[in-house]
Every structure is written in structure tokens, then in C-alpha cells.
Amino acid sequence: MSESSIGRVVEEVAREFGRERWRLMDIARGVQQRLGCVNSQAMDAIASWLNISRVEVEGFVTFYSFLSKEPKGRIVIRLCDDVIDQMAGYEEVRRGFEAALGISLGQTTPDGAFTLERTACIGMCDQGPAALVNDVVVTNLSSDKARNIVRSLRENPRPERLVQRFGSGNNAHPLVRSMVENNIRKAGPIVFSEQARGEAIRKAVAIRPAEVIRAIKTARLRGRGGAGFPAGMKWEFARAAEGSPKYVICNADEGEPGTFKDRVLLTEMPDRVFAGLTIAGYAIGASEGIVYLRAEYAYLRRYLEHILDRRRADGLLGQKICGKAGFNFDIRIQMGAGAYICGEETALINSCEGRRGEPRTRPPFPAQRGYLDCPTVVNNVETLACVTRIMEAGPATFCEHGTPQSSGTKLLSVSGDCSLPGVYEVPMGITLRDVLEMCGADEAAAVQVGGPSREMVGPAQYGRTIDYDDLATGGAVLVFGPDRSIPKIVSAFMDFFVHESCGECTPCRVGTRLIKEQIDRILAGRGEPKDIDELLQLGETIKQTSRCGLGQASPNPVLMTIKGFRHVYEELVSPDPHGYQRSFDLTESVREAERIAGRRSIHHREVRT
């Protein structure tokens, strides 16, 4: 394609979004869709359209997994490689795709029809192995299904045709038409209770914003993303902060491997989430709300837009909401482009502004200076659903569930070695044992609560509780049976952190890679006893010195499992009697030279005692 025609495509895409810098994400996504890449000429054209430097555009495009400088195939198959999908047969599926396509992972077919890639967790651990075929989710894959998918795409290159049977609930909605299953195993009294559309907002606007905040504080609602910051306090800071306009953002970028409850919530309870965002807007004095939707959930977008339209038609968004003079509020969806770090609220804000998803320096906090330097509140999807329920039923009803420090219920995304993976709404304070019993995980040898960022616990600790005082979690519960290798799981987790580090700070950028390599050496039988303590020291340094929560949490897989399961590491390591480094593999190191020389190395004759 010539430079001028690329320029035309960029302009066609960009015209829809205007020339504000914060539209860079939408423009880049649009160009990627049209051209299969954002190449050099396209970057130049975008830079001049937005009047920003080209290197900023390049920095942006290369930051996100779903954008690329190099041309991708017309159909991009993104195979989810998180640890649960690996347990479910990822390798076989990968080989199936590779054989059918005649390419390896990371490559594009010569005819430009297909690209096969790996991707981090796409939120389908309860129905893996799963993949994205462009925006279309395919689940429960096998090697055979992989071949069939390729065959039918070759016959008809429209990925939506791959969906033969729709999943449960709104997955069958005409605007979703997805094979994804909800797998709601336990609907609790808060998030999944009967909805009364509009009621929460009517009740909220009937009282003053300060009273809404007081109700949230009375309910002792804490952030459901996992960090547990009191929601009311966050709102109060933003309300009190100087500056306008103010913004509320719904963080729908759940990316912690093993987490998928927000996907189900957005599928089945979008009104409740949007109502919560609207109430948050009323409480802090915002007139605009943004839903930052992860790229992996793009298949829900049209449906969510439709729900927003319906809310506008019903007077639940727009001017004078529920007749309240002066309360004007609307919501727009901002798509992400594949970056786990954007679940961190300041990185998310940067992403919304069309920047690399690097966390910001704090202070200032978002409540003081967030999106476009204005006071901003970022809340998790589930937190907002709780807000709506608190307004509907009152704080007291909310507090009937859970514990004094952790009121309400918690959504859990359960996956792995259990018979009933899916979403569970449980009261805060529930024991892990009760959760495992519910999901049919009789043989659980280890459970990762909260995903890779959090804690792995063994059977002796199944009496611990899921709440902010003990096992704080964004909701991921990954169950591992007795046959699973813990260091292998840790290696997969570290792979994830290496892949998702933004690279801004040294300990996370370099340290995660060093940990990953050390773990892999231990797994290969090349570890020494001292390596375990060195891993602990390195992990501790990364945890203490990293710039943001991702970096600080990234060594947790190693730190937590050495703490709780040290013996599994000790079984893999041994000292070298001569003081040779076991990490050095002479046989491997001379392999290439042997091939070139066509003879074997003399060291094979060396007798090791």
C-alpha cells in the first residue's frame, strides 16, 4: 500500500475520533484493524494528525500486545497460555494450530491470512484451553478443534461463523453471540441479586452526594479489585479535590490470570455496573464516566453499547438523570489493547489518555490529579455493582453479609483442578475449605488465591478465610491437584510477569527476568541449594523496591511458594562437589560448535566423579 493511501486510511479512521491526544488508543486500534498493523507510515500520519511526536506514537503502539508495527494476518489467533490453560491442554492445542496452519507460534502464514500468537490470560480459565480469533472467543479447545477451526476459517474467513452454539445467558444475546459460558455456580444476595433498574440511581439522587458517600462508608465497601481501599474514602477525596471536570472510571481490565468474574458481571449485570458508575459520578460531582474495557472482552462491546443506549433512552444517562436538575452524566467505553499493567489505576489512566500504560508517580493520587490531570476515581467492576446494591437495599443489608472488616460478598473466579469451575458469590470471610468443597476440589494440593500476584496456600491452611484481613483477593482461585509441579506453575507465573512488566523500573524489568531464568534452571536440574536463598533475596528486593503494585507483587509466586513449599525446591537442587556452577551446561554450550565442526567435544570423555 502506498504512503498516500495509508495516510488516507489513517485519516478516515481518525476523523471519527478527532484530534485530541487521548483518542490515540481508538485511532491506533482502528488503524490496526484496517491495515493489520500500525506501520511506520501510519505512525507518521497519526503523529501529524494528533500533533504529537512520532516516537510517542511508536512507544504507544509497541507497548500494547494487540497493536503491532509489523503486519499481522487478516485473522489473528491468540492462544491463551496461562497456567490453567496449560493444564487443560494448551500445548496440544498449540501443536494442532501449528500443524494446521503450517507455522509456529509467533508467525504469520505466507499468504497473510493467519497469525498465530500466544496471549496472557483472556479470562476463560473455567472453559480453557481458549483462544481469541480476532475478537471471537473460542473455548474448550482440543487439537482436533484447532484443526477444524483452521479448516472452516479457510473456507470462510469470518471468525463469527465459528460459533455454532451460544453460551448461557446473555452470551446468546444477538449482539454478543458468543460460545462463552457464564458458569455462575453460586449467585449470592448482593451482586447477583434481582435487579431493579433505575432504583439505585433514583434513591441516590434523592439524597445529597455527601449522603451517598456516607452510605458507602456505612456499608464499609472496600475495593473489589483486591487492594481493598475503602471506596467511600476514595470518593470523598475526589469530591473534596479541587479541579474540574471530575471523572469516574470503571476498571474492566481484569487481567490477573485466573480472574474472569468481571466478564460474567458485564455479561449478566451490566446495568448494575453502569448504575454504580453513575452513582459514583453523582457522588463526586463528575459528568463523565469511562469504562476501560480490556481488549480481550471486545466481543461484549456492542452489547454494552446497546445497554448504554437503553439507559440513555430511559433517562438513566444523559441530562437531568432521573429528573435531578444539574445531574448530567454519560458513560463511554474506552477499549484497551492488551496490557495487564493497565489494571493498575494510574497506568489505566495513562492508557485512557493515549499513553503507554506505565504507572504514574504518586503523589499526586488520581483522586487529586488523575485523568487529564483532573480528580478521578477508578473503581473495579464488582465494586460498582456493590455500590448499586448498597443504594438499592441500604448499607445495613449489605453489612448483613461478610465480616466487620470485610462486609458484603465477594465474587470468586474458580478454575483448575476442580469439578465445578466458574463464578461463585460467597460471603466475605468464607474459609478456603468451604470454597474448595463447593467447587468440588477434593484433592487440592495447593491453591493460588488472588492469582499469581498473591498467595499460594497448602492444605494445612485451608482454614484461612477469604477477606481483607487474611486472604485478600481480586477473586481468582486457582486449584492445583497433587500431580502438579509447583515450580512449573511458578515458572508460568513468572513468564506472565516478565511479559507484562511495563519496563519503567529496574527491579521489575530486570529482576522478574532473572527470577524466571533461575526457576527454569532449577527445573532443569541445574540448581544448587544456595539458589533458593538467592531467589528469596532477589524476590525481596524486587518486592521492596519496585515502583508499582505489579512489580511489588511479581516475586510473590517465588516468595510464597518457597515459604510454603520449600521442600519441592529442595528436592530439585543439589550442591556440586567440585565447586563447578551447576547452572553452566557444557554439553549444551558446545552443541552448536560440535555441529559446525562435525565432531564431538573432548569433554564427553571427561569422567565426572
Partner 1 sequence: MSEIVTFTIDGRRISAEAGQTILAAAQACGIYIPRLCHKDGLTPVGGCRVCTVRVNGRPASACTQPVAAGIVVDNDTEELRSWRRQIVEMLFVEGNHFCMFCEKSGNCELQALAYRFGITAPRYPYLWPKRDVDASHPDIILDRNRCIMCGRCERTSRDLDGKSVFGFVERGIHKTLAVNADARLADTDLDLTDQAVNACPVGAILKKRTAYRTPVGQRQFDREPIGTSVETRAKLTIDGGEPR
Partner 2 sequence: MSKPRLATCSLAGCFGCHMSILDIDERILELAEVIQFHKSPITDIKTFTEHCRIGLVEGGCANEENVEVLRAFRRNCDILVSMGDCATMGGIPALRNFVEIEECLREAYVDGPSTHNPDGVIPRDIELPLLLDKVRPAHEVVRMDYFLPGCPPSADTIWAAVTALLSESPVDLPYPLVKYD
Binding site for partner 1 (CB under 8 A): 40, 44, 53-56, 58-59, 62-63, 339, 356, 361, 363, 498-507, 509-514, 517, 534, 537-538, 541, 544-547, 583
Handedness of CA 42, 46, 48, 53 (dihedral sign): negative
Least distance between partner 1 and beta carbon 417 (Å): 30
Q: Which amino acid, one-letter code, is at 380?
A: N
Q: Minimal distance in Å, beta carbon 575 to partner 2?
A: 10
Report, in Å, the least distance between residue 597 CB and partner 2: 4
The CA-CA-CA angle for residues 558, 562, 568, to 5°, reads 110
**Partner touching 545 among partner 1, partner 2, none, CB below 5 to 8 Å by kind:** partner 1
Judged by beta carbon, residue 319 or residue 601, the one nearer partner 2 is: 601
Residue 587, binding choice from partner 2, partner 1, none, Cβ under 5 to 8 Å by partner class: none
Gap between the Cα atoms of 474 and 64, Å rounded: 23
- The DSSP symbol for 79 reads E
Nearer to partner 2, 373 or 594 (CB): 594
Q: How distant is the alpha carbon of residue 147 from its chain centre? A: 28
Partner whose footprint covers residue 582, from partner 1, partner 2, none (CB < 5 to 8 Å by kind): none
User: Please, which of residues 562-601 interact with partner 2 by CB under 8 A?
Assistant: 578-581, 583-584, 586, 588-594, 596-599, 601
| CB of residue 576 to partner 2, shortest distance in Å | 8
**Which is nearer to partner 2, 158 or 591 (by Cβ)?**
591
SS3 state of residue 504:
coil
Task: CB nearer to partner 1: give 25 or 304.
Answer: 25
- Contact at 8 Å (CB) between 386 and 222? no
Give CA–CA dist 293/252, Å, rounded.
5
By C-beta, is 469 or 517 nearer to partner 1?
Answer: 517
Cα–Cα dist 327/232, whole Å: 20
The secondary structure of residue 361, as a DSSP letter, is P
In the complex, minimum distance from the CB of residue 532 to partner 2, in angstroms, rounded to a whole number: 16
Whichever of 272 and 516 has its CB closer to partner 2, that residue is: 516
Task: Tell me how far CA of residue 36 lies from CA of 28, 73, 115, 145, in angstroms.
Answer: 11, 7, 10, 25
Is residue 520 a contact residue for partner 2 (CB under 8 A)?
no
CB 449 within 8 A of CB 476: yes
CB of 605 to partner 2, least distance (A): 11
Q: Cα(203)–Cα(512) distance, rounded to whole angstroms?
A: 48
Pick what 328 binds: partner 2, partner 1, none; C-beta below 5 to 8 Å, kind-dependent: none
Smaller CB separation from partner 2, 197 or 513:
513
- Identified binder of partner 2 from the candidate list 325, 361, 606, 607, rule CB under 8 A: 606
Judge if the upstream peptide bond of residue 363 is cis by omega within 30 degrees of 0.
yes
By beta-carbon proximity to partner 1, the closer residue of 140 and 583 is 583
Answer whether 239's CB lies under 8 Å from 284's CB: yes
Give the number of other Cβ atoms within 10 Å of residue 508's Cβ: 28
Which residue, 238, 220, 239, 240, is CA-closest to 230? 220
Cis previous bond, 257, omega within 30: no
- What is the CA 337 to chain-centroid distance, rounded? 11
Q: Of partner 1, partner 2, none, which one sits near residue 588, judging by CB under 5 to 8 A according to partner kind?
A: partner 2
Give the nearest distance from C-beta 591 to partner 1 in angstroms.
17
Nearest approach in angstroms of CB 518 to partner 1 is: 9
Q: Is 603 in the site for partner 2 (CB under 8 A)?
A: yes
Least Cβ distance, residue 494 to partner 1 (angstroms): 12
Distance of alpha carbon 477 from alpha carbon 373, whole angstroms: 36
Binding site for partner 2 (CB under 8 A): 578-581, 583-584, 586, 588-594, 596-599, 601-603, 606
